[in-house]
C-alpha cells in the first residue's frame, strides 16, 4: 500500500477485556495528535459480584453495546463514516470472545465503507498511549504495566519493539487486584487498594523483595502476593489494613523501579549522547505512588519521564485509533482475514526464543 499523505482520521475499537470503547483520532501530517472523541462503557458492575472479569459475560456485553458505542463516538467527533481514513480494531491479546466482537465490528465498517483496516496489537496501543497527551519522539524506553501485562521494551518506532524484561508470573496489576481481593476490597482492586493506603504506614509490614540481585530486567510478584494475602488474613483493625495496603503499594512500586533502573542503565549505554526518554503506560501507571517512584528513578538516571493522561492509562480506544493511524501513515494495513489472537507478544522473536512462560497451543505469551 502507498503511504498516505496529509492528515489521517481513524476510528478505533477496543474490546479486549471488560471495556467496550470506540474513539476517533486525527493524526496530522506533522504527527500531531487530536482526540476527536473517546467513549468507554465499563462492565465493572456486571463483574463485581464475581470479584473479577468473567469472559462469557464480557463477550455478551460487548455484543449488546458495541454498535451504540461506535455510533456515539462518531457523533461526538462530528463525523460520518465518509470522513474516516481508516478503521483500527484490537485484534489481541485479550479475552478472545471480546476481541472477536470488536474486530468483527471494525471489519464490517471497513468492508461496507471501503476503508483500510488495521488490526492493532492491544499492547502497541498502550505503547503509543502517552503520545495522546504529548509529542513524544521515538525511540523511548517503555514500562508497560497493566492488569495483565508487565514488561520493559525498547520502542524504536511503529511496530518496532524489543523486549528487555517481562514478568515470570503475575503482572503488577494482577498482584494489586488479587491482594485487594484477599483483603476483602471490592473489584476493581487496584484503585480500592490505593484508596485504602492513604494514611497508612507501610514500614510496619516488611514484604519480600523478589529477584533481588538477579541479573536482567524480569519481574516477579507471586511471592509478594502470597505474603500479603497471609498477612491480610490475620488483620482486624482498619489502621492495620491501611498499613498493609501502603506496604503493598510501596513494594510493587519498588520492584517496578528496581527493574526499570536496570533497563535504563543498559538502554543508556547503548545510546550514549542521545536523548533518553522513559515512558510508563498501562492501568497501573494511574497509581500515584507508582508514578512518583518511577518519575524519581527516571530523573536519577537522566531520563525524561512521560505517562499518558489518566483517561488513557486504562483500556481505551483512542490509543487503538492512534496506533492504527501511525500504522496507516507507514502504509501498514491488514486484510479482512485478520484473526483474533488471545496471545500476541509485541516482540514475537523474543517470546519464542526466550519465553518467560512455556508456549501453549494458543502461542507464546508476551
Beta-bridge partners for 22: 13, 39
Q: What average pLDDT does this structure show over 326-353?
A: 89
Would you say the CATH fold of 140-307 matches that of 8-133+312-353? yes
Per-residue pLDDT at 360 exceeds 80:
no
Q: What would the pLDDT profile of 156-192 be if each residue is shown by its tens digit?
A: 999 899 999 999 999 999 999 999 999 999 988 999 9
pLDDT at 353: 66
pLDDT band at 351 (very low <50, low <70, confident <90, very high): confident
Q: Hey, is 139 helix, strand or coil?
A: coil
The overall average pLDDT reported for the chain is 92
- CATH fold of 140-307: Nucleotidyltransferase; domain 5 (3.30.420)
Per-residue pLDDT at 231 exceeds 90:
yes
Per-residue pLDDT at 1 exceeds 90:
no
Instruction: Please count the other Cβ atoms lying within 10 Å of the Cβ belonging to residue 202.
Output: 19
Q: Computed from CA positions of residues 346, 349, 352, 354, in that sequence, does the dihedral angle turn out positive or negative?
A: negative
CB 165 within 8 A of CB 159: no
Per-residue pLDDT at 4 exceeds 70:
no
Per-residue pLDDT at 352 exceeds 90:
no
pLDDT at 2: 58
How big is the CA angle at 348 (ends 150 and 147), to the nearest 5 degrees? Answer: 20
Q: How far apart are CA 31 and CA 171, in angstroms?
A: 32
Per-residue pLDDT at 298 exceeds 70:
yes
Instruction: Please count the other Cβ atoms lying within 10 Å of the Cβ belonging to residue 203.
Output: 10
pLDDT at 159: 87
Helices (H), the chain: 44-47, 55-77, 96-113, 122-128, 172-182, 189-197, 222-233, 238-270, 288-300, 318-329, 348-353
- CATH fold of 8-133+312-353: Nucleotidyltransferase; domain 5 (3.30.420)
Per-residue pLDDT at 366 exceeds 70:
no
Helices (H), 183-237: 189-197, 222-233
pLDDT at 315: 93
- The reported pTM is 0.91
Per-residue pLDDT at 320 exceeds 60:
yes
Q: What would the pLDDT profile of 11-44 be if each residue is shown by its tens digit?
A: 999 999 999 999 999 999 888 999 999 999 999 8
Beta-bridge partners for 360: 363
How big is the CA angle at 222 (ends 248 and 347), to the nearest 5 degrees? Answer: 110
Per-residue pLDDT at 203 exceeds 80:
yes
pLDDT band at 214 (very low <50, low <70, confident <90, very high): confident
pLDDT at 5: 65
Q: How far apart are CA 172 and CA 249, in angstroms?
A: 10
Q: How far apart are CA 37 and CA 132, in angstroms?
A: 12
The residues near 68 (Cβ < 8 Å, ≥ 6 apart) are none
As a whole-number percent, the residues of the chain with pLDDT over 90 amount to 81
pLDDT at 91: 98
Q: What would the pLDDT profile of 96-105 be if each residue is shown by its tens digit?
A: 999 999 999 9
Closest CA to 116 of 303, 331, 322, 314: 331
Q: What would the pLDDT profile of 259-297 be if each residue is shown by its tens digit?
A: 999 999 999 999 988 999 999 999 899 999 999 999 999
pLDDT band at 363 (very low <50, low <70, confident <90, very high): very low
pLDDT at 281: 95
Q: How far apart are CA 14 and CA 8, in angstroms?
A: 19
Report domain extents, the chain.
Answer: 8-133+312-353, 140-307
Provide the grid cell at 7. 492528515
pLDDT at 361: 46
Amino acid at each position: 500500500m502507498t503511504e498516505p499523505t496529509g492528515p489521517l482520521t481513524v476510528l478505533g475499537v477496543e474490546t479486549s477485556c471488560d471495556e467496550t470503547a470506540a474513539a476517533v483520532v486525527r493524526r496530522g501530517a506533522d504527527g500531531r495528535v487530536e482526540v476527536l472523541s473517546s467513549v468507554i462503557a465499563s462492565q465493572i458492575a456486571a463483574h463485581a459480584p464475581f470479584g473479577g472479569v468473567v469472559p462469557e459475560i464480557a463477550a455478551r456485553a460487548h455484543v449488546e453495546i458495541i454498535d451504540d458505542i461506535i455510533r456515539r463516538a462518531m457523533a461526538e467527533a462530528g463525523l460520518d463514516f465518509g470522513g474516516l481514513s481508516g478503521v483500527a480494531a484490537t485484534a489481541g491479546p485479550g479475552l478472545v470472545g471480546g476481541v472477536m466482537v470488536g474486530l468483527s465490528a471494525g471489519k464490517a465498517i471497513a468492508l461496507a465503507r471501503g476503508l483500510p483496516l488495521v488490526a492493532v496489537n492491544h499492547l502497541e496501543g498502550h505503547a503509543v498511549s502517552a503520545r495522546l497527551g504529548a509529542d513524544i519522539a521515538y525511540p523511548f524506553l517503555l514500562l508497560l504495566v497493566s492488569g495483565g501485562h508487565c514488561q520493559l521494551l525498547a520502542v524504536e518506532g511503529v511496530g518496532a519493539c524489543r523486549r528487555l524484561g517481562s514478568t515470570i508470573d503475575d503482572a503488577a496489576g494482577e498482584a494489586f487486584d488479587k491482594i485487594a481481593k484477599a483483603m476483602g476490597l471490592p473489584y476493581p482492586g487496584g484503585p480500592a487498594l490505593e484508596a485504602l493506603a492513604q494514611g497508612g504506614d507501610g514500614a510496619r509490614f516488611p514484604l519480600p523483595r523478589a529477584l533481588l540481585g538477579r541479573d536482567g530486567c524480569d519481574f516477579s510478584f507471586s511471592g509478594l502476593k502470597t505474603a500479603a494475602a497471609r498477612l491480610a488474613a490475620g488483620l482486624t483493625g482498619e489502621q492495620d489494613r491501611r498499613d498493609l495496603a501502603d506496604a503493598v503499594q510501596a513494594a510493587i512500586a519498588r520492584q517496578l523501579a528496581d527493574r526499570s533502573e536496570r533497563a535504563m542503565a543498559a538502554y543508556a549505554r547503548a545510546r550514549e549522547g542521545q536523548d533518553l526518554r522513559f515512558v510508563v503506560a498501562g492501568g497501573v501507571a494511574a497509581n500515584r505512588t507508582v508514578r512518583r517512584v518511577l518519575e524519581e528513578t527516571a530523573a536519577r538516571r537522566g531520563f525524561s519521564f512521560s505517562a499518558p493522561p489518566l483517561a488513557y492509562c486504562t483500556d481505551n480506544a483512542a490509543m487503538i485509533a492512534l496506533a492504527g493511524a501511525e500504522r496507516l501513515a507507514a502504509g501498514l494495513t491488514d486484510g479482512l482475514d485478520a484473526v483474533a489472537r488471545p496471545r500476541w507478544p509485541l516482540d514475537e522473536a523474543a517470546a519464542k526464543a526466550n519465553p518467560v512462560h512455556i508456549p501453549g497451543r494458543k502461542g507464546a505469551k508476551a
